[in-house]
Amino acid sequence: MTQTRQLLQDYLGYLEIEKQRSIRTTESYQRYLERFMRWAEQEIQLSRVEQLTEDLIRKYRIWLHHRVDGKTGEALTKKTQNYHIIPIRSFLGYLTNRGFNVVSPSRIELGKQEDRHIDFLEPDELDQLLNAPDTKKLHGKRDKAILELLFSTGLRVSELTALNRDSVRMDAGEFSIRGKRSKIRIVFLSERAKAALIEWMNARTDIDEALFVRLVKTKSTDAKGQINLRLTPRSVQRIVNAFAQSVGIMKNVTPHVLRHSYATDMLAAGADLRSVQELLGHTNISTTQIYTHVTNPRLKEIYEKFHGKSGQGENKQEESGAQSESNT
């Protein structure tokens, strides 16, 4: 194993243990860094981190710019290209802190990317979706609770599926959630979400600790041979999308679209940006600001309704006064 490969393994361990990054984040960084390493090993026979120069990374960015996405057949978006570069900058920062002579991560700037497009549901679409499950059936009770909880709290789908029965404090109408980078935040239950959860919990006959479980006769087991009924994020995605299609919503509705809907609903109703940032668990307020691109157009209605109206009144008075003077 080359020095570079060994230090890459050390870095990935550092991410998981010392920085406490999630397994998903660590695997994502590993995938992008492995791709860069393979390219660099072919390009310059990379073996030592001292070979990680600004010129090498510039050449890699040019290669990414011309690379075609295997799924779409199109060039990589600026956003995807940045996803490749962010782990490299982090790896360089790790090496710099350990005293290796590599290019400073501050020299590697991210490319300017297109404004992020936010999909969210309009109030009538949201109402249709939340009322879609047939609550006379057990599946419907579960699915109703899932939909109401997603919109009530703005949870990420991975956060929702990680919940246990005892995670949610029904009496208080709030509970804490451990989100990205192990950041803890408080989320709140609407009365609709609370009612849906109580109905689902009262109807359950299983003893699984998970808040949301699969309702099947065949029970799969996990790596330890134990029965695992917990719903997966992919299962919840399918549930949400299926109900959206059933009520004729012509959008690709995912759990994250409900998170977007939660944020835009709060901002449109007058919530301040800092509060929404805290409720969503965003580390940087710049992440929350993407929702203002959606809610700001609503200000146009106010602008058109009120702008210039007082000035027009003053002009009319002035015109009237001028007319009077001309008549005297």
Check which CATH number belongs to the domain holding 45 and give it: 1.10.150
Domain boundary among 107, 139, 167: 107
Shared-domain flag, residues 232 and 192: yes
Residue 303 lies in a domain: no
Shared-domain flag, residues 277 and 153: yes
Task: Find residue 185's DSSP bridge partners.
Answer: 177
Mean pLDDT value of segment 60-82: 86
Q: How confident is the model at residue 328 (pLDDT cuts 50, 70, 90)?
A: very low
Chain centroid to Cα 285, Å, comes to: 14
Mean pLDDT value of segment 54-63: 93
Shared-domain flag, residues 133 and 178: yes
Residue 209 in contact with residue 168, Cβ under 8 Å?
Answer: no
164-189 pLDDT tens trace: 999 998 888 889 998 887 788 999 99
Q: For residue 184, give the H/E element and its range.
A: strand 184-188
Give the pLDDT score at 325: 41
From 256, 298, 303, 305, the catalytic residue: 256
Shared-domain flag, residues 130 and 254: yes
Residue 327 lies in a domain: no
Shared-domain flag, residues 8 and 33: yes
Q: Is 167 helix (H, G, I), strand (E, B) or coil?
A: helix
Residue 36 in contact with residue 11, Cβ under 8 Å?
Answer: no
Give the pLDDT score at 300: 61
d(CA 247, CA 277): 31
Shared-domain flag, residues 82 and 166: no
pLDDT: which is higher, 124 or 295: 124
Based on the residue annotation, tell me whether 180 is a catalytic residue of this protein.
Answer: yes
Give the pLDDT score at 314: 46
Nearest residue to 55 (alpha-carbon basis) of 17, 108, 134: 108
Shared-domain flag, residues 95 and 170: no
12-51 pLDDT tens trace: 999 988 888 878 889 999 999 999 999 999 999 999 999 9
Shared-domain flag, residues 261 and 135: yes
Give the pLDDT score at 140: 96
Q: Is 169 helix (H, G, I), strand (E, B) or coil?
A: strand
Q: What percent of the chain lies above the pLDDT cut of 70?
A: 84
Give the pLDDT score at 20: 80
Calculate the average pLDDT of the chain.
85
From 165, 180, 185, 204, the catalytic residue: 180
Domain boundary among 107, 141, 167: 107
Shared-domain flag, residues 76 and 189: no
Q: How many domains does the chain have?
A: 2
From 84, 141, 259, 260, the catalytic residue: 259
Start-end of H helices in the chain: 3-17, 23-44, 54-66, 78-97, 123-130, 138-153, 157-161, 191-203, 233-246, 255-268, 273-280, 285-288, 292-295, 299-306, 309-327
- Most confident option among 96-105, 106-115, 213-222, 318-327: 96-105
Residue 279 lies in a domain: yes
Shared-domain flag, residues 69 and 130: no
d(CA 15, CA 94): 10
Mean pLDDT value of segment 285-311: 67
Residue that has been written with the tokens 């006959």 in this structure: 205
Shared-domain flag, residues 182 and 135: yes
From 11, 14, 29, 291, the catalytic residue: 291
Based on the residue annotation, tell me whether 219 is a catalytic residue of this protein.
Answer: no
From 142, 156, 194, 260, the catalytic residue: 156
Residue 253 in contact with residue 241, Cβ under 8 Å?
Answer: yes
- List the Cα angle 9/98/90 in 5-degree steps: 60
If you ran DSSP here, which 8-state letter would residue 188 be given?
A: E
* Enclosing domain of residue 283: 123-297
209-257 pLDDT tens trace: 999 999 876 555 555 556 789 999 999 999 999 999 999 998 889 999 9
Residue 113 lies in a domain: no
Residue 160 lies in a domain: yes
Residue that has been written with the tokens 């994020």 in this structure: 233
Based on the residue annotation, tell me whether 156 is a catalytic residue of this protein.
Answer: yes
Based on the residue annotation, tell me whether 259 is a catalytic residue of this protein.
Answer: yes
Residue 318 lies in a domain: no
Structure tokens of 157?
């789908």
Res 264 pLDDT > 60 = yes
Res 206 pLDDT > 70 = yes
Give the pLDDT score at 159: 93
pLDDT: which is higher, 80 or 222: 80
Give the pLDDT score at 311: 55
131-158 pLDDT tens trace: 999 999 999 999 999 999 999 999 999 9
pTM (global) more than 0.85:
no
**CATH number of the domain to which 291 belongs:** 1.10.443.10
- CA torsion sign, 39 to 44 to 49 to 54? negative
Residue 114 lies in a domain: no
Chain centroid to Cα 272, Å, comes to: 19
Shared-domain flag, residues 98 and 148: no
Residue 302 lies in a domain: no
Residue 68 in contact with residue 74, Cβ under 8 Å?
Answer: yes
d(CA 4, CA 49): 5
